[in-house]
Structure formats: structure tokens, C-alpha cells
A = this chain, B = another copy of it.
Amino acid sequence: MQSDIEICRNTPLSSIATVAANAGLLPHEFDTHGKYKAKVHPQCLQRLHTNQDGKLVLVTAITPTPLGEGKTVTTIGLSQGLSKINQSVMACIRQPSMGPVFGVKGGAAGGGYSQVAPMDELNLHLTGDIHAVTAAHNLASAALDARLYHEQREGYEAFEARTGLTALKIDVERITWKRVMDHNDRALRMVKIGLNEEGKTINGFERDEGFDISAASELMAILALAKDLNDLRQRIGRIVVAYNLEGKPITTEDLQVAGAMAVTLKDTIAPTLMQTLEGVPTLIHAGPFANIAHGNSSIIADQIALKLSSYVVTEAGFGSDMGFEKACNIKASAANRAPDCVVIVATLRGLKANSGHYDLRPGMAIPDSIFNPDQAALEAGFENLKWHINNVHKYGIPAVVAINQFPQDSLEELSELKSLVKRFNPDVKVAVSTAFGQGGEGTIELAQHVVEACEQPSSFRPLYTPEQPLKEKLMVVCEAGYGASTIDMSEQAKKQLAHFEALGFDNLAVCIAKTPLSITTDSAIKAAPSGFSVPIRELRLCAGAGFVYALSGNVMTMPGLPDKPAFMNLDLDDQGNIIGLS
């Protein structure tokens, strides 16, 4: 079989203007960026607002292995399958970060015959939205450090007298806004900035700092949750970057940089239109993490796609305890729109990895032996899939199971898994997907199940309402959401909770950052654990995004490069074509 980039390069694509016109957009409603990308202006919603909304299909997964279970392949493949059975359909996915493209994981365009194309343009730069997020984010940092420097150097009174500005009196120990970089760069995790040659102060005020990867920027979550440009501007202004010496929050508005940040982000408000290898129009917009942020593509992209097509297929990061929980409790609430049907992606490999019968440790390669039929392991791991089916039903949404087939899978075992699902719950439809190898042809049965499921009555129930106190929201996600029996907050977290309540942030949503490799907070615990405790080490405020996130365990917000990173394979050939991208 050809490599992803070869398949992509050998597939004829339509011009993006044709794709846009076929999707129902008028020429003034989009701007092309090269032959295969267009920015779609959200103003089109004014014309389209009387259209009936299509059905929103959310793709989630079982508890994944570190390699992922193929959610994006299934999302793209399913959209192509829906198109094959003559449904009008669009896909909505997140923009990949360049860090993992150069690191270990590779790109995020799907794969095989279920890709967004051209995959190199999706994986690198796209239409510049992540770069704009990085620039706007670091502008706030430069503004903060410049203000700190000028106020400290001159003294608050002299600074105020000379400039006419009010001194912000930033508490250098309580700066919460780190810088960002769209790379896997471990050396930037902990840094000291503002260093000076001896006896000088021209380089600013020395302090501890760190860099996160750009996808972890609060601005990325804001972009994904904003309703429109004005909402984006207002949310930016609510970002708390530090506290002053009296413990009061300092916002980007206080720094007078919120407007410039919005100016920098202005063009990011427009989702990027591309196409799948089979021509399904696909909107790519925002790329927030699914732990410290909510892990879903944007509300604006969904809104546009729902007005243009009968089915919109989108995905949520990691397993259903992670991105799907946040899709329901954070995104759906901000969008006032819940999914109509949820597809749970399972693999034989992933279920057996969830059995506890294999000695799998993070960083280790998954042994090929996992593909050998092993009924005991499959049955043990199936507990995990049951958990995720029940989890989706808990929110009142119909579920469909997609078994993402690998070439090494045994047909008997695939059939066995289908039987397990049917025996567990005859109302839950299950289909094997060969989206990777066959594109839309490989998801026709899945697509038919999805169409049926979308006709089922859905009675969406999020786990909490904004009015509930923050602590109650955290408890309900851990207990009702994960099945934990207790929540164990550190003293620091308790203090932070009290502080956020005192500041009036009690109505925010909660976003729990934990390992995606287990339903618990311990990546070694597999299948469908219950009765566990969730430790909450620390809380952090994202007042602009509209949530408080809780760190449970170590969540790495700046990845590192391995000793043989993916970038070593990348180059240009004599014709200027990219080689080695996957």
C-alpha cells in the first residue's frame, strides 16, 4: 500500500471553489487560500440562519492506546460513507499542531483512503490559525513583562506620574500566563527570563517562566468556544494573566492588550474549508487539547456545517471520558447544541490493550502479538467498551460502535466483538469500518447505522448546570462522569477553589485534566474500573474560555522530542515535493 502522502498526491482533487460551491456557499462567503483551502466567513450564517440544522454526529472512542484508535480516520471515513449513501454531509475536525508532526505522533489528517487533503497543507501551517494563536498569546506575555519591567524599574508612583497609567502592581510570584510555542520543545518547559548581565537591568525583570505547546493556549480554547468575532474579543478581555499584590486578577484588558490580541486573531474566526480524498467538504477550526482544554473543534465550524448539510461528523479528543465528556458539559452548553448521535471507535488492539493481560507501559511499543486472537483478553477488554457505551447513554444520546479494522486483525475476532456488542445491548448497532483501506466504501454499514441512530429520540442531559458550585461540578464529573467514588482535593486546590469562588467565577464550567490512557487517573488501570478516587492537585482558571481546569496527576503541556524524531524523515525531493510526512 502507498504511504499516506503518496495516496494523497495521487488522488485528483476538486478546486476548493468548487467544493465550496457544492457545499452551498456563495462566492463572497469564502476566500480561497491556494488551490485547496478556503477561509469560510461566519457571516454566511446570516443568510443561512433559516435553514434547518443537520444532524450532529460526534465520534469518540474507547480508552485509547498512546497511538490512538483511529478516530480521525473513522470521522473522515464515515463522512465519506454518508456521502456514498447519498446524504449531504460535512466533516469538522481540529487543526493539528505542528509539534507532533515533527515529533512522534505524526500528522492528524486521518490516513489511508480516509484523509483530509492535501494532508501536508493540513499538517503544516494550514491557513495560519495556530501561528496567529501563538502570536496573540505571546503578545500578551511581552505586554505583561514590559509592564512589569517599566513599573519595577521606575517605581509605581513615578511610573503613574510620568505615564498617566495606573500601576498594575503585578505580583511576580503569581503570574499565571505562560508563553507558548508550536513545537515539542522540552527545554522550554521551565525557564528563567529577564536575565541581565551583572549590574544591568535592560533585559527586564528576572522571573521563572515556562512555555506550553500552542494547542494548550487558552486562546485556542477560546477560539473553539467563541460564538462570533465579538464574543472572541470579549472572551480575550476576560483572560486572567496574573494577580496583583493584593490578590486581585489582572486581565489582558488591564494590560490594554486585549484589542491587539483580537486584531491578531481576527482572521482565525473563519474556519478553513478543505476536502476529503472523496470530496466531502471538511471544516478545520481550532485545536484545543482534550485534557487542560475541552478537545473539540469549534462551535462556529459546527454551526456553519449544520446549516449547509444534513449530517455533520465531528470528533472529540481521546476516549469518551475525556473529549466527549467535555463536548457535552462544556461545548454543548456554550453552543446550546448537543450531538444527535455518538460513534464509539473501538479496535481489537485497543480493547485487548485494555484487558490488563498485556504488559504495556507508556513509551513502549505495542507488541505485534496483540493482534493474535485472544478471546479472554478481548472479553476482559470489552468491559471498557461497555463502559463507554453506558457513558454515552448516560448523556441521553444514541450510540453506534465502529470497529476500526487493522490489516492484521482476525475476521473471527472481529465477528466475536460484534457479537459481544449485540449481546450486551441489542439496540446498539455495530459495524466494522475499513475506512483506512477503502475510504467511504468501508463505512457504508456504519453510515447506515448512524442515519438510523440519528432518527432515534435523543434526550440530552449534561452532567451539571452552570448554577451549581464549582466543587459540585468537579464531583459530578468525577463520580457520575468517571464512576469514581471520591474526589481528593489537595490543600492547594481547596484554597484555589475558595479563591475562584470569592472572585465570582463559580458559574464557570470545569475541565478535568487527567491521563487519557485510563478512565481513572492512573494510566495503568485498565478496562472499566470503579470505586476509585480522583486526586485533584491544582486548579487553574481560564476565565476567557469559561472553565476552571483541574490537574489530576501530571499533565504535560509541552511535549519533548524523542531521540529519533519524525522530522529526520522529512525532506523535499528534486521537484520540491514533501517526502516522509505521515
Contacts and interface: CB of A to CB of B under 8 A. Distances in A.
Contacts of A576: 229-230, 266
The residue in A120, A259, A574, A581 that gathers the most chain B C-beta atoms within 10 A of its C-beta is A259
Contacts of A568: 256-257, 260
A134 B188 CA distance: 15
- Interface majority SS (helix, strand, loop, mixed), chain A: mixed
A184 B139 CA distance: 9
B571 A259 contact: yes
A191 B188 CA distance: 10
Interface string A233-268: 100000000000000000000001111101110110
Contact of A572 (B131, B204, B263, B581): B263
A53 to B, nearest CB: 25
A362 interface: no
Interface string A450-464: 000000000000000
Given A187-B193, A233-B572, A578 B125 contact: no
A49 interface: no
A34 interface: yes
Nearest to A31: B34
Contacts of A139: 102, 183, 567
A159 B564 CA distance: 11
A155 interface: no
Contacts of A202: 186, 560
A571 to B, nearest CB: 3
Contact of A185 (B35, B141, B192): B141
A428 interface: no
Contacts of A185: 138, 141-142, 145-146
B567 A143 contact: yes
B187 A203 contact: yes
Given A31-B34, A193-B188, A150 B266 contact: no
Interface of A: 31-35, 39, 98, 102, 120, 124-125, 128, 131-132, 134-135, 138-139, 141-143, 145-147, 149-150, 159, 162-163, 165, 181-197, 202-205, 207, 209, 229-230, 233, 256-260, 262-264, 266-267, 560-565, 567-568, 570-572, 574, 576, 578, 580-581
8 contacts: A31-B35, A125-B267, A146-B565, A189-B195, A191-B191, A191-B209, A257-B567, A260-B570
